[in-house]
């Protein structure tokens, strides 16, 4: 659920006044988000997405909004641009709360299908094909908010790493990710968490990529692996035909370099470990949602099944 911080209509009106939106006519909690409470707000005859931060600091939220503003400057078509308050702030402050206001788009996350995977692949490839300016260096690194190969490996060496995480890592990556750590991969802006539920579709067409909470500067191959690992699924399992549909869409925009093709399967497995570690940090160590404390194991199981699937059906 995304409705952790309870807002009243009075609260919503006070926040609306910071933007001079007009009278709030309705406030609807949305079942989306982990780090935020999300609301659909109708004010002054328009619809907005109102987000209240639950566990992120103001600096982290400002960094995320800087990324979205940068994507707007580059004319990326699939990201939302935050509104600014009447004081020109992209992060609002109200009592002890802070958050952002974004455009509200109609749409739904897609179910598993070749069309959806191909569309998301195209969207991710467009993100990876942006022509960057010098402002790129002002955008945070993905590792500030997410977990790449180095962070995943280092975690397996720590005393508080769960045994099942470490054991499966050593089984699947006996090389300890040297292939990733020792190569100069192409980098730019990555989403860092582009699962299918972080997209909205309308009439089978991609409308928007949501929640750049783990976005920043990073390796495209890591982003590709993460996105495939959370998109090309049927009944919770990675399906090679759906992966090939994703890649068909992706490579129609950005053909994969040879080294990325060679290490594609490993990058998908790494993507599963990356998000598994994110869940451990959020739900197990920070206790953000005790009911999800063991949810990291779902991704480990997915990685294990994927590893077995490759023995029968190669990706490419």
Q: What token pair was written down for 241?
A: 């035909």
Tell me the Cα Rg of the chain.
20
Angle 22-23-26 (CA atoms, 0-180°, nearest 5)?
125
Q: What is the CATH number of domain 114-312?
A: 3.90.1200.10
Q: What token pair was written down for 140?
A: 């945070």
What's the pLDDT tens digit per position in 218-254?
999 999 999 999 999 999 999 999 999 999 999 999 9
Residue found under tokens 């160590």: 285
- For residue 234, the Cα-to-chain-centroid distance in whole angstroms is 19
What's the pLDDT tens digit per position in 185-227?
999 999 999 999 999 999 999 999 999 999 999 999 999 999 9
114-312: same fold as 9-103?
Answer: no
The pLDDT of residue 288 is above 90: no
pLDDT on residue 47: 97
Q: Report which of 120, 267, 127, 128 is spatially closest to residue 197, judged by C-alpha positions.
A: 120
Q: Report which of 39, 31, 49, 280 is spatially closest to residue 147, judged by C-alpha positions.
A: 280
Q: Report which of 18, 78, 88, 93 is spatially closest to residue 48, judged by C-alpha positions.
A: 18
What's the pLDDT tens digit per position in 123-175?
999 999 999 999 999 999 999 999 999 999 999 999 999 999 999 999 999 99
What's the pLDDT tens digit per position in 50-106?
999 877 788 999 999 999 999 999 999 999 999 999 999 999 999 989 999 999 999
Residue pair 282/34 in contact (Cβ under 8 Å)? The answer is yes
Please state the domain extents for the chain. Answer: 9-103, 114-312
Torsion of CA 278, 283, 284, 289, to 10 degrees: -170
Q: What is the pTM of this model?
A: 0.94
Question: If pLDDT is split at 50, 70 and 90, which confidence band does 4 have?
Answer: low
pLDDT on residue 111: 93
pLDDT on residue 33: 60
pLDDT on residue 3: 45
**Domain 9-103 listed as CATH 2.40.10.10:** no
């Amino acid at each position: 659920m995304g409705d952790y911080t309870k807002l009243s209509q009075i609260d919503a009106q006070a926040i609306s006044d910071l933007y001079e939106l007009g009278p709030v006519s309705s406030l609807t909690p949305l079942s989306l988000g982990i780090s935020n409470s999300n609301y659909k707000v109708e004010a002054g005859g328009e619809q907005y997405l109102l987000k209240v931060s639950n566990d992120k600091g103001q600096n982290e939220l400002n960094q995320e909004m800087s990324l979205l503003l940068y994507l707007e400057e580059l004319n990326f078509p699939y990201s939302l641009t935050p509104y600014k308050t009447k004081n020109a702030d992209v992060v609002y402050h109200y009592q002890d709360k802070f958050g952002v206001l974004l455009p509200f788009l109609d749409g739904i996350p897609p179910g598993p299908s070749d069309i959806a995977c191909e569309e998301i692949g195209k969207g991710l490839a467009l993100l990876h094909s942006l022509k960057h300016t010098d402002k790129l260096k002002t955008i945070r690194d993905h590792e500030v908010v997410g977990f790449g190969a180095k962070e995943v490996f280092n975690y397996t060496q720590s005393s508080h790493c769960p045994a099942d995480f470490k054991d499966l890592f050593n089984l699947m990556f006996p090389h300890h990710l040297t292939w990733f750590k020792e190569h100069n991969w192409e980098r730019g802006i990555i989403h860092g968490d582009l699962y299918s539920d972080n997209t909205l579709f309308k009439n089978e067409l991609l409308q928007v990529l949501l929640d750049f909470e783990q976005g920043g500067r990073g390796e495209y191959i890591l982003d590709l692996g993460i996105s495939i690992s959370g998109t090309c699924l049927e009944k919770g399992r990675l399906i090679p035909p759906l992966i090939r549909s994703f890649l068909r869409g992706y490579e129609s925009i950005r053909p994969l370099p040879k080294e990325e093709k060679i290490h594609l399967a490993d990058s998908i497995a790494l993507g599963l470990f990356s998000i598994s570690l994110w869940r451990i940090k959020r739900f197990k160590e920070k206790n953000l949602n005790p009911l999800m404390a063991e949810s990291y194991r779902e991704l480990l199981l997915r990685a294990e099944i994927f590893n077995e699937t490759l023995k029968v059906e190669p990706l490419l």
